[in-house]
Each structure stands twice: as C-alpha cells, then as structure tokens.
Structure 1
Amino acid sequence: MQAQPKTVWGVLSTANIAVKQVIPAMQKSNKLVVGAIASRNADHASEVAGILGVGKAYGSYDALLADPKIDIIYNPLPNHLHVPWTLKALEAGKHVLCEKPIALSADDAAKLTEVSRRTGKKVREAFMVRHHPQWIRVRELVRNGSLGRIGAVHASFCYENHDPLNVRNRLDIGGGALNDVGCYAVAMGRDIFGCEPEKVVVLMDRDPEFGTDRLTSAIIAFPEGRRLVFSCATQLVRSQDVQIIGTRGRVSFAVPFNQAPDQTARLMIDDGTFVKGSALLVEEFEPVDQYMLQAEDFANLCIGLGQEGPDLEDAICNMHVMDALRMSEESQGWVTVKPD
C-alpha cells in the first residue's frame, strides 16, 4: 500500500497561538510536516524555528509564500490581517487554514470566495473544537434525538487580559471579546441547531481605555423559538461552559473549548429526572490534541482524501451573525441576521 503523502505547511508569523499550541500539535502528526515559519524579523524567525525544530525560517511573509515546497499556509496573524494574507496565499497557490474569526465582516470574508474558486485552493476557518471527539459525540447525541428537541444552548467563555499592547485589546486591529472568543459560541450554536439564526440582540461593556468589548452578552434567536444565550469576556476570571438543553435531556462539558491535549475530556449527560443531577451519566474521552486533528483533517481535504466540512460559506454565515451583533450594539435593539 502506498504511503499517504505528507503535506508541507508554512506558518505565517510567530504568533503565540502558533508557537505555543498549533505548531507543537502539528509536529505530533505523521501525516504532515511544518516546513517553514516566517516573521517580519529574520533573526526572530530563525530563533523560533531553531527552538521548535522547523527547517526553514523567513524574514518576510512574502518569502514564505514564494517557497514552492509549501503546500498549506497556517495564518494566525492578527484579525485585521486574516483576509489580506489569506488572499495573498491563495494567489501564491497555497491552501490556507486561517485562524478565527476569518474576517472582520461578512463582506470582508466574501472576498475570499472568488479567489479560492479561481485558484482551486481550499480555505478553512480554524475552529479546532469541531474536531475534538467530545464535540463529535455531542453532534451525534443531537442528531440522533437522544436529547429530544434542542431548545436552548447556554455558553460562556471568559479570560483576564489587561495588557494594552496585546492584540486582543486593540480595537484598531479587531480585538475584543466577541471576535476573540464569542465567535466560538456563535459557530457552535449554529452547528448544534443545524440552521441559521433569525435575529440577535446584544449588550456590550467596553473598556474605557482600549475601546474593545470586555464583556459581551447576547441572545441569538433561531427558528421555532430556539435560543443561543452566551457571554464572553476579556476581563473576568478564566472560565468556560457550554450546556445544551433539549426536551429529553441535557449535556454539558467539563472543558468545551480549550480542552488540554494531555487530559481526559468529560461530557455530563442528564435526563432531568433529578434537578441536582443524581442521574448524571459521564462520558470520558481519551486525551487528544484537537489542533493536530484539525490540521490532519484539513491536510486530507487539500490532497483529496478528506470529506468536505465547514467551508467558506459557513465562515461567511458566521460573520453575518457577528455583523448583526455589532449592529445590535449600535441600534440597542434586535437586529435581523442577513440571509444567505
């Protein structure tokens, strides 16, 4: 049997998420190779490449894109650079796994569609949680009716960061809680309900110095009276939670988003017989690295071995919801989500 070809990846910048999480995760895989990394500073790129054992280092992003041996680009640049550099990567003949949010608006994200089609190169938004077995199991429970009709999804995702220089606290480049972590709740809610929402309403508390939303709370209304309710924050204690509530049962996660790769994941399933959860069923999942699984899945797609998953259309739909949430803050009322 012929061995599966290994895709060669290039990493566009030395962003923390790339250096501390994604590159080490990808290096665990025998299906791909991290071949190069780029920084705007050649010395820094070489230093990081040496630490991580990456073969090539480039002192510019353009130089990385010009490398003919690179098949796929991972783009973890600040939010405002997601679309410009993904476009450049596509034009250079590379597939792109782009960090979330894929853009700063739906119109911005839509720019990727024509270029992706013309070049024949794939683009995917990097929601690593979609690849974790615990989320795959939850989708199974929802789809097979084990929880009954899903009526509500409650979610929260919070952390504390007061650094004025951190990209998450810079309004001019797309910082703030909604863009950074609220997008997870939007994407997972759409996935669980299996359709697009109708309208949204939001309240945002903005940092007086940064201007970014440090606490965002939203209600997203789906057809047939179903609701996603979530809060996300950049200046609250580190915490995260998701609870999915149906007519026959509910399920919650021990760690829904940042599940550690060396720890067992747990789902709590309850049929509601006892309010205090004495009938709780706990399902456990062996430790896996969801960033590695994400990279492998996209690599397989790019070489024609994988199944189509969430694509650019899905990413644009997610951005329509994010756009509506920002419009709701401006209008201080309900806003209809733009249809496809």
Structure 2
Amino acid sequence: MRRALPAMAASDAVELTAVAGRDAQRTREFADRFGCAADTYDGLLQRDDIDAVYVSVPTSLHVPWAERALRAGKHVLVEKPAGISAVEVGDLVRLAEERGLVLRENFMFLHHPQHEHVRGMVADGRLGTLRSFHGSFCIPPLREGDIRYDEALGGGALLDVGVYPLRAAQLILGERLTVAGATLRVRESDGLDLSGQATLASESGVLVTVDFGFEHTYGQSYTLWGSQARLSVDRAFTAPPTYQPVLVLEEQDHGERFTLPPSDQLAHGLAGFAAAVARAARTEGGAAADPAETAWRAAALETMELVDQVRKLAVRVTGDARVTGEG
C-alpha cells in the first residue's frame, strides 16, 4: 500500500474512491491524505460507486476477501501471491470466470518492458538454443514481529519472494513448468521457511533453478543461458520508475550492454487492469470471454501449483542443517 495508493491517486486510468482498513483512525488518515472516502471492508464492498477492489491484506486473507469482492460484483486486483494453495486459488479463478469479472494478481514486474525485450532477444535467436534459466530474489532478515514471519498469515520466504523467480520463469519461457526437487531451510521452532531453492524443467527441456530467502544480502535477478550466449537481468522485480535497466549479453568472444529507458511498472499495471475492466464492461460474457484475462487467471493458478509442488518435494533443514522431513 505504501506505493500502491500514491500510484492510484496519481493515475489517469483509475479513480481512487475509498479505502478500508482494520484501524478506523489510520484509515481516515489515509483517506484524508489521498482525497478519498474512508470505509470498512464490508462497507466498501457494498458501495455502488466502486467498480474494482485492490486486495492488499495479509496473504492468508487474499482469497477470502477477493472472493467476497467478486461475489459483490467487483473486479479484483489481488496482491501477489493470489493465495496460499492451488486449491483455494483454483476456486477463486473459477468464481471470477463464472461472474465474468477481472481477477489479476499484482505482480508489478510483469508490466516492465525490459522483460518483453528479453523475450524478443530469445525469440530472435541471440542466445541460440535456450538451455537454462536461473532466478533469485533474496532479502536480509526482517524486523522482529513482521507478518512475513507468521505462517498463519501466509508468511515464509517461498510465498513472499520465491514466487517472483517462479513467475519470471513462467513469463520468459512461456511454457508449463514441473518441479523436480527443492530444499527449504526452516525455522526450528515452527517450521516456517526462511530460504530455499528449487529445480524445475520446462516442457521443452529448459532447466530452471530458483533461489529465495530472508537470510541474505539483498539481490534480485535472473539469467538465461543459451548455446551461444548468456543474458543477465539485474533489478528484475522491483525496478523503481526512474531506474534504467541494463541487460548484459555475454558471448564467447563478445559482450554487449543494452541500457533501456526507465518505466513505471506499477503505473503500467494499474493502466492494464483498468483497461481489462473497461473491456469486460463492453464484452458479452465479461472477462470470462477475454483471452488476456484467461491467461492471467491461468498463470495465477499455475504459480500456486508450482508452490504446492515445491512444498511437497522439499527436503527441509534447520539452521544447523539437520533434516526435519519432507512434504
């Protein structure tokens, strides 16, 4: 919400009508700051002047509140990940499709043009035959009491940062992935995952590895390695609006750096969501008949299926490397 509300208030694509929260005083402060109404969660869903809702509650509450919004006839932009398991996200996806409503997962990085540039270079054969993808998103330890350390609220490194390289692999490769194995380092007291790795494969045989965690110096990137060249993307997931991405291409006897224009991925995401809502309003069947929205729903479900596979296959170790079991 720290970035989303200012972006919504500044956007020409959406109109920020009301905010809701658990704390009435803080909600009023936000409303006054951004020039909109303050309401309760239930009150907001009953408003006739609202077309869509941004669900940014803790992860374990994404599906319950997104479901209530959809049943109230509202389009939904839900913070990533859409839920905590493929079963509940599948139910949410089917509800959105039945209602003809837009349901999008707010992975902001998907809207940055640098990734389309990468896909273009792969399609043009600059890397030769693609052999592997490696993605990472790791951050330093969080403050004590951070909700991401609370498993009941959908905490853990896999759901918070691990989903980013998984989703990036889906985007760049454009194929279904299968998890071959995984390792999670867990907190001994309660089994919460603090960091991890996973190995996957695409339908065409591209090998995929991802790293994620709450125990590292900060870093986020992905690398594509082909038969002729390697392409690296730094600051892949949270590029600020003024950041100029630099793609690094390395061949055996040659190297190139491609500096791309800055881009506001959050603004692009809001504009894309608003455009989808507008299309749904003028299309028979609403968003259910929109191929683009079908793809968004399918991707959200596939991401959670991968998360479930990682959990199922993971060997869990504690900080002193003792194995604590599988599944």
| Structure 2: runs of 5 or more not aligned | 281-289, 317-322
Partner deviation per Cα, 1:149-189 (whole Å, 9 max, x = no partner): 21111111111233342121111121111100111111111
What does 1:1-340 correspond to in 2, within 5 Å?
18=1, 20-51=2-33, 53-58=34-39, 60-209=40-189, 211-270=191-250, 272-274=251-253, 279-304=254-279, 308=292, 310-329=295-314
Change (3 A) 1:78 1:249: same
Partner of 2:320: none
1:237 and 1:220 mapped to 2: Cα distance? Answer: 24
Task: Give the aligned CA root-mean-square deviation in angstroms.
Answer: 2.0
- Equivalent residue letter for 1:96: V
Partner of 1:4: none
Q: TM-score w.r.t. structure 1 length? A: 0.85
| Structure 1: runs of 5 or more not aligned | 1-17, 336-340
- Are the counterparts in 1 of residues 148 and 160 from structure 2 also a CA contact under 8 Å? yes
Question: How many pairs are equivalent?
Answer: 308
Shift >6 Å, 4+ stretches = none
- Are the counterparts in 2 of residues 26 and 291 from structure 1 also a CA contact under 8 Å? no
Of stretches 154-163 and 78-87 in structure 1, the one that deviates more from structure 2 is: 154-163
- Are the counterparts in 2 of residues 38 and 45 from structure 1 also a CA contact under 8 Å? yes
1:329 and 1:199 mapped to 2: Cα distance? Answer: 10
- Equivalent residue letter for 2:277: C
Q: Give, in angstroms, the shift of residue 209 of structure 1.
A: 4.2
2:128 and 2:43 mapped to 1: Cα distance? Answer: 53
2:242 and 2:179 mapped to 1: Cα distance? Answer: 39
Change (3 A) 1:254 1:313: closer
Q: TM-score w.r.t. structure 2 length? A: 0.88
Counterpart secondary structure, 1:156: strand
Q: Give, in angstroms, the shift of residue 212 of structure 1.
A: 1.8
Counterpart secondary structure, 1:304: helix
- Equivalent residue letter for 1:241: S
2:167 and 2:29 mapped to 1: Cα distance? Answer: 36
2:31 and 2:189 mapped to 1: Cα distance? Answer: 36
Question: Taking every aligned residue pair, what percent have the same amino acid on both sides?
Answer: 29
Partner deviation per Cα, 1:170-218 (whole Å, 9 max, x = no partner): 1112111110011111111122222112332111111234632111111
1:43 and 1:198 mapped to 2: Cα distance? Answer: 47
2:238 and 2:9 mapped to 1: Cα distance? Answer: 19
Q: Which has the higher contact order (CA 8 A, sep 6+)?
A: 2
